[in-house]
Amino acid sequence: MTLGMRLRTDLLWSPYAADRGDMWVAQDPVHREFYYFNALEKAIAISLDGKRTIEGIVQNVRWVDSNVTPEFVQDLIRRLDSASLLLHRNWANVGRRNRPRALSFTACLSSVLSWRVPIWNPSRSLHAFDVVGKCLFHPVVMWSAVVCILIVAGWMLQSWQEILHDVAAWPMSLRGDRLLLLSVLLLAIKGLHELGHALACRWAGAECREIGVMFFFGIPCLYCDVSDAWKIPDRWKRMLISAAGIYIELLLAMAASIVWLNSTEPSVRAVSLQVVLFCTIVTIGFNANPLLRYDGYHVLSDWVRVPNLSDQSRDAWGQMWRSWLAKPSEHRHSSSHGLLALYHVVSWSYRWFLLVALVWGLHRWLVLHRMPESAATLSGAFAIAFAWLGIAGWRSNRSALPDETSFSRLKVAGLMVGAILFLVFLGTWRFEQTVFARGLIEPVRMSPMYAKQLAILTEAADDGTYVKSGKQVLAMESPELELELMVARGELQAANQRSSLLADRGVNDSLAAQQVEELAKVIQGIRERLKKLTLQSESLTLVSPMDGMFVDVIDIPAHSDFAGNQIADRWTLLDLSMNRGVVERGQLIGLVVQPDAWQVKAFVPETEVRNCKVGALVQVRLDQSPRRTLSGVVKSISAESISRTPKALRSDVLFGSEMVSEQEMKPEYTTYSILVELEKKEWSPIANALASVRISVGQRTPIESLWEMATSLVYRAKEW
């Protein structure tokens, strides 16, 4: 019986590459999609004229491959039909897409990482930039740029500590108009990225016919359609077109790095460093990643000469597991077939990992901001979509099998047993569940030292110095107090002299005797004032109240030299004493601590503090020494939340804060403090140093964790 379908005649055919005469590309001008065929597949597709039978098609293409089978022809026809490349006798509209609705919905779900909305056809406007494209993509210019990029990268790596310091200050700047500036920077960088693709496409002899908006992980970004590169037979030029956006961003990163290395203005350094990180880490991690269907994917596809790599790897994986599951399993696959299947498994797992991480991050953000209903809706919708994709994938793979295919009962039973064992494993395997928090190191026993007067600091012990009880630690002076002492001493001396003169006259003069009595009262008042001033003067010298280690805790911002160059991250007491700096009355300027007993004050969000219990085991990793891990137990949990962000955590990238005023910040969400008592060891950390804290909240199975999360969401939804 003849087949009632034929190949569409409006498809545009072109050789895949100049050195690959066995590969062809077909463009669908209606749906703007491209399909790759080998010589045998093209011969079969062209033979579909609506008049031949499957046996006739097999006989017609024997000259290409004498081993072609009717099953192979049926499978290809099925794939052509699902891609809407065939016309049935009852079809009237070529442009109509005849995929089933369920499969269209499935395709939409499977591409949630990058929805695209076309906006503009720039093919008529890009001719003005042809000179720029010829210059940028000239071989001499490109190799010179690569050398310059490597040199600048080496300079940047030498300043990695400064880079980490500037990155740590980002949360302080990602607010208000600076956040708007960051968004504009990202949009501009991605715009130049897409312009690079378009210029490379024109340089190679093709056109960019579409520019639009792509929602990458929910973030709007620009994109340009350079799929016309299929017309270019030189695969190296196609690879250059795919990598052109990365090349442009690396040039931007190089320019921004030079600005950062030669600038001392904080705002300029912040913006230039943001450009560097956007154009390197983000670009290499996503655009250049071959596991995602972006620039790196197309470069890899052309490099290994496997067109339509994603579809071929998916088909290879499907064929492998179907042939293994079917009975009898006689088909053997080549090593390249196995590598394609492996690529599909790895890329599929990576895409779903990113998607799960995105959903989990949104879920956590919604819970922390008291929106449990939205969090529950998001999690439920994701679970339903995942189940739908699984069912649709199984139906699609099942329909790809010939009707007479039968499964091996032994292998099917093995799969079912494996699935049951996996569920049992999820229900019995217990893992340690922890709560992550940021914390500050502080001593258990400490004696604070405050400035008792407004004074000038003249001497100070070095931070970390061991001091004995009664030993001088700080010395200050107050010119105003010294002046008052001099005035009081002068007044006392003058009063005493006048009292002596009046005493000599008071023997025969009753009025002088009365004045002596009055002057004695004045002298007594002056002496009391002088005693008070002397005590105040003595209080300018601070001595250690106990044996221990002196810790400098004064909190004054970074200082610069006369040229505006930053000297240090913060003032120390030694800096202040050498520059005769002023300390305020009541200001905490130091601590004397016992170095053998320390504790950590951890700050835990409200949504997680309910799982923490007194006595729970804790692991602490110090930022000052990342390789050192300390153990401890929860000593107490605060009954009230903190209202202000501790000063040491204001610029911490792992602790979210929001600006209240220029001098004050508060946590982004309700946070409680937990006091952790550390084990005693002979070590001397820095007081108020940052640490990462992991609090054990017990062992749970994955199913118990999911059930607890679902029940807590329902409970909070009812409560709020």
CATH number assigned to the domain comprising residue 606: 2.40.30.170
Give whichever of 225-234, 253-262, 404-413 has the largest mean pLDDT. 253-262
Query: Which of 49, 82, 99 is at the close of a domain?
Result: 99
Residue 191: C-alpha distances to residues 195, 350, 586 (Å) = 6, 26, 54
Same domain, 9 and 152: no
**What is the domain extent for residue 381?**
309-429
Kind plus residue range of the DSSP H or E element containing 35: strand 33-38
Q: Residue 126 in contact with residue 199, Cβ under 8 Å? A: yes
Residue 290: C-alpha distances to residues 232, 301, 344, 348, 353 (Å) = 21, 9, 11, 12, 15
Average pLDDT over every residue of 449-458: 84
Q: Is the pLDDT of residue 543 over 60?
A: yes
Same domain, 313 and 288: no
Alpha-carbon span 230 to 240, nearest angstrom:
13
Residue 363 or residue 294, greater confidence? 294
Same domain, 578 and 613: no
Average pLDDT over every residue of 530-537: 87
Alpha-carbon span 372 to 378, nearest angstrom:
10
Question: Cβ neighbours of residue 568 under 8 Å, at least 6 residues apart?
Answer: 558, 559, 575
Residue of 206, 180, 179, 211 whose CA lies nearest to 195: 211
Q: Is the pLDDT of residue 403 over 70?
A: no
Alpha-carbon span 185 to 274, nearest angstrom:
8
Q: Is the pLDDT of residue 404 over 70?
A: no
Q: Residue 636 in contact with residue 708, Cβ under 8 Å? A: no
Alpha-carbon span 486 to 530, nearest angstrom:
9
Q: How confident is the model at residue 258 (pLDDT cuts 50, 70, 90)?
A: very high
Total domains, the chain: 5
* pTM assigned to the model: 0.59
Same domain, 91 and 124: no
Question: Cβ neighbours of residue 658 under 8 Å, at least 6 residues apart?
Answer: 175, 665, 666, 667, 668
With a pLDDT cut of 90, the percent of the chain lying above it is 6
pLDDT tens readout for residues 687-702: 677 888 889 888 777 7
Residue whose tokens read 């695209």: 116
Average pLDDT over every residue of 612-626: 83
Average pLDDT over every residue of 37-48: 86
Alpha-carbon span 211 to 208, nearest angstrom:
8
Q: How confident is the model at residue 566 (pLDDT cuts 50, 70, 90)?
A: very low
Q: Is the pLDDT of residue 100 over 50?
A: no
Which pLDDT belongs to residue 281?
Answer: 82
Which pLDDT belongs to residue 556?
Answer: 59
Q: How confident is the model at residue 247 (pLDDT cuts 50, 70, 90)?
A: very high
The first and second tokens of residue 34, run together, are 């491209």
Same domain, 385 and 531: no
Average pLDDT, the chain: 77
Residue of 152, 133, 137 whose CA lies nearest to 255: 152
Cα-flanking dihedrals φ and ψ of residue 466, to 5°?
-85, 125
Cα-flanking dihedrals φ and ψ of residue 673, to 5°?
-100, 140
Which pLDDT belongs to residue 172?
Answer: 45
Q: Is the pLDDT of residue 486 over 80?
A: yes
Q: Is the pLDDT of residue 457 over 80?
A: yes
Residue 270 or residue 131, greater confidence? 131
Q: Is the pLDDT of residue 507 over 60?
A: no
Average pLDDT over every residue of 517-546: 85
Alpha-carbon span 402 to 326, nearest angstrom:
10
Which pLDDT belongs to residue 588?
Answer: 81
Residue 675 or residue 623, greater confidence? 675
Q: Residue 506 in contact with residue 516, Cβ under 8 Å? A: yes
Which pLDDT belongs to residue 156?
Answer: 87
Same domain, 661 and 695: yes
Which pLDDT belongs to residue 714?
Answer: 59
Mean pLDDT lowest among 100-114, 168-182, 195-209, 651-665? 100-114
Supply the CATH number for residue 32's domain: 3.90.930
- Give CA angle at 414 (413, 420), nearest 5°: 90
Q: Residue 638 in contact with residue 658, Cβ under 8 Å? A: no
Q: What distance lies between CA 689 and its chain's CA centroid?
A: 23
Mean pLDDT lowest among 165-174, 441-450, 625-634? 165-174
Same domain, 139 and 243: yes
Alpha helices in 579-684 (DSSP H): 606-609
Q: What single DSSP character describes residue 528?
A: H
Amino acid letter, 12: L
Question: Cβ neighbours of residue 245 under 8 Å, at least 6 residues apart?
Answer: 193, 194, 196, 197, 283, 287, 295
Q: Is the pLDDT of residue 252 over 50?
A: yes
Average pLDDT over every residue of 614-639: 84
Q: Would residue 70 be called left, alpha or beta, if left means φ above 0 and alpha means ψ between -120 and 50 degrees?
A: alpha
Query: Which of 562, 589, 616 is at the close of a domain?
Result: 589
Mean pLDDT lowest among 21-30, 183-192, 285-294, 565-574? 565-574
Amino acid letter, 438: R
Mean pLDDT lowest among 15-19, 244-248, 468-472? 15-19
Q: How confident is the model at residue 20 (pLDDT cuts 50, 70, 90)?
A: low
Average pLDDT over every residue of 478-484: 86
Same domain, 49 and 113: no
Instruction: Give the start-end residues of each E strand in 579-663.
Output: 582-583, 588-593, 598-605, 617-622, 629-637, 657-661
Residue of 121, 11, 134, 79 whose CA lies nearest to 311: 79
With a pLDDT cut of 70, the percent of the chain lying above it is 78
Same domain, 325 and 451: no
Alpha-carbon span 266 to 3, nearest angstrom:
72
Which pLDDT belongs to residue 711?
Answer: 65
Average pLDDT over every residue of 346-372: 76
Which pLDDT belongs to residue 458?
Answer: 85
Which pLDDT belongs to residue 354?
Answer: 80
Alpha-carbon span 612 to 621, nearest angstrom:
18
Q: Is the pLDDT of residue 708 over 70?
A: no
Same domain, 633 and 691: yes
Mean pLDDT lowest among 187-201, 271-285, 308-322? 308-322
Which pLDDT belongs to residue 685?
Answer: 65
Query: Which of 402, 429, 456 is at the close of a domain?
Result: 429
Same domain, 566 and 421: no
Q: Residue 570 in contact with residue 558, Cβ under 8 Å? A: yes
Which pLDDT belongs to residue 69?
Answer: 86
Alpha-carbon span 68 to 42, nearest angstrom:
13
Average pLDDT over every residue of 203-228: 74
pLDDT tens readout for residues 126-178: 777 888 888 999 889 999 999 999 999 988 888 776 776 566 555 444 444 55
Which pLDDT belongs to residue 114?
Answer: 54
344 burial level (CB within 10 Å; 0-12, 13-18, 19+): buried
Give whichever of 20-34, 360-374, 646-660, 667-681 has the largest mean pLDDT. 667-681
Give whichever of 145-159, 346-360, 638-652 has the largest mean pLDDT. 145-159
Same domain, 149 and 208: yes
The sign of the CA dihedral 126, 132, 135, 141 is negative
